[in-house]
Amino acid sequence: MVREVLERCGQLYLETGGYFDIRASYLPVAQGRQQVPVDPSGLVKGWSIARAGHLLDEAGARNFALYAGGDILVRGQALPDDSWRIGIQHPFHRDQLSAVIHTNNLAVATSGAYERGEHIMNPHTALPPHGVLSVTITGPDLAVADAYATAVYAMGTDGPAWAARLAGYEAMTILADHSVLSTTNFPFG
């Protein structure tokens, strides 16, 4: 499994032009070292939830929601309601939502600095990105959505344009000026 995760991280590194980089958070302290530590958590959290969802699917579960730190996977219905309502927390106002998604089968991943501080770095500058508050990515695979959310956030204000080209995934980005940019088919509720 470790090899599978590391290989997928390598593929996502190439796919995102190096913005999804499992070494990024260590780059400032790793200068001159032969081996740079890695942190695949930008994929692993979503990957582990997706694996749990697959196990539930195989066991016959049809209606469930799995959540971990900004990432959620939903299947079926939120009984007795006919769909799940997923709130995207506002980056500054914890008691407010930036958006609500209504869906039955979707993976949703959000990246930002408002929960854990400046933990996502732009790997090309080794600095935190500027001009962006949060990025939410929706799509079929939570591991990929999680990695894309990390990469788009790391891109800063260039992220929304890159996210608009994703096939099968949608994005909502909240910029530092509080404007909201979203792809055409982002599933607003």
Say if CB 148 and CB 170 are below 8 A apart.
no
Q: Does residue 111 belong to any structural domain of this protein?
A: yes
Q: Does residue 133 belong to any structural domain of this protein?
A: yes
Chain centroid to Cα 99, Å, comes to: 16
Q: Does residue 188 belong to any structural domain of this protein?
A: no
pLDDT of res. 140? 96
Q: How far is CA 68 from CA 15, 104, 178, in A?
A: 25, 18, 25
pLDDT of res. 90? 87
pLDDT of res. 25? 65
Residue 143, H or E segment: helix 142-154
Say if CB 183 and CB 189 are below 8 A apart.
no
Chain centroid to Cα 150, Å, comes to: 5
pLDDT of res. 1? 78
**53/41 Cα distance (integer angstroms):** 18
Per-residue burial over 55-87, b = 16 or more CB atoms within 10 Å of its CB, e = otherwise: ebeeeeeeebebeeebbbbbbeebeeeebbebe
pLDDT of res. 23? 82
Say if CB 159 and CB 134 are below 8 A apart.
no
Q: How far is CA 55 from CA 47, 58, 182, in A?
A: 12, 5, 32
Tens-digit pLDDT string for the chain (189 aa): 788 888 999 999 999 999 998 887 655 554 555 667 788 877 888 899 999 999 999 999 999 999 988 899 999 999 999 999 999 988 888 889 999 999 999 999 999 877 666 778 888 888 899 999 999 999 999 999 999 999 999 999 999 999 999 999 999 999 999 999 999 999 987
pLDDT of res. 49? 94
Say if CB 98 and CB 89 are below 8 A apart.
yes
**159/114 Cα distance (integer angstroms):** 18
pLDDT of res. 20? 92
- Look at the chain and report how many structural domains it folds into: 1
Q: Which CATH number does the domain housing residue 69 bear?
A: 3.10.520.10
For residue 44, the enclosing domain spans 2-182
Instruction: Tell whether pTM > 0.85.
Output: yes
Q: Does residue 187 belong to any structural domain of this protein?
A: no
Q: Does residue 14 belong to any structural domain of this protein?
A: yes
